[in-house]
Every structure is written in C-alpha cells, then in structure tokens.
Amino acid sequence: MWVLDLEDMQWTYYTHLLCERAHHACCMVRGSVFVLAGKDDEDTDTGGCTASVEVASVEVLRYRARETEEDVFRDLLSLARGAVNLPIAISIDESESDEGQVLLIGGADVEGTTSKVHIVDLATGVC
C-alpha cells in the first residue's frame, strides 16, 4: 500500500496486503482502510502459466492507537456472498455493526458480470 502526501504530492510506501490481489474494492470506514474481494494470481498446472482466481477475503488496516503499535493489515471474515472481482465499495453511515458497513456494488463472479448491490457487515461478512 502506498500513501499520497497531498501537501508534497509524494508517494510513500506504507505497508503490504496479506493477500496479493488486483481488481479489488477499497474504502475507508470509521478511520480504517478495508480491502475487499478482487483477484489473486495463483500458479496452476498449465505449463507454468498463472491463472487469476476471484477471492472473497476482506482485510483491514486500522489506525495506530499508540506509537508503539505497528500498522499492519489483518484478516476479517470472508464475504458471505462469495468471491467477486472488480466491485466498488462505498462506506455507508450506520451504527448497527461493530466494524461498520459498506455497499458492495457490481463486479463479476463465477456466473459473470453482476449488477447486484449488497450491504456488507464488515464484522461478520454477512451480505
């Protein structure tokens, strides 16, 4: 993960995700960065080629509470709706969840492109 300093317009390396992924959704909820779904490259037995596989995992980067704590991503529960890539995530104003909620919009899954909109509880993964 890279952070852009808007004052200096300089990018700085910050930390790395637990799961290498592309085509994921990312948004800020209650001061934490959430990274949802996407695609993970995994080796297959097809002559050394790499195949992309949709993932349902969710990671969170919490703001450090104290200077001595390290900023690292942590795994949360996977999305109950299953794997999806190229979704859009938008934080919604709510107070019913311990972690917060997001709208997960569109994307593609094993059945193809979807126009579905899910409310995702980030504490449980329930969609």
What is the pTM for the complete model shown?
0.77
In a domain, 126, yes or no: no
Residue 79 domain boundaries? 2-121
In a domain, 127, yes or no: no
- Report the domain count for the chain: 1
Confidence class of residue 68 from pLDDT cuts 50, 70 and 90?
Answer: low
Confidence class of residue 64 from pLDDT cuts 50, 70 and 90?
Answer: low
In a domain, 60, yes or no: yes
**13-44 tens-digit pLDDT:** 888 888 888 889 999 888 888 998 888 866 54
Q: What is the CATH number of the domain that holds 34?
A: 2.120.10.80
Confidence class of residue 11 from pLDDT cuts 50, 70 and 90?
Answer: very high
Strand ranges, E, within the chain: 2-5, 10-13, 25-29, 32-36, 39-43, 50-54, 58-61, 73-76, 88-91, 101-105, 108-109, 112-113, 117-121
Q: Select, from the ranges 68-72, 107-111, 118-122, the one with the highest average predicted confidence (pLDDT).
A: 118-122
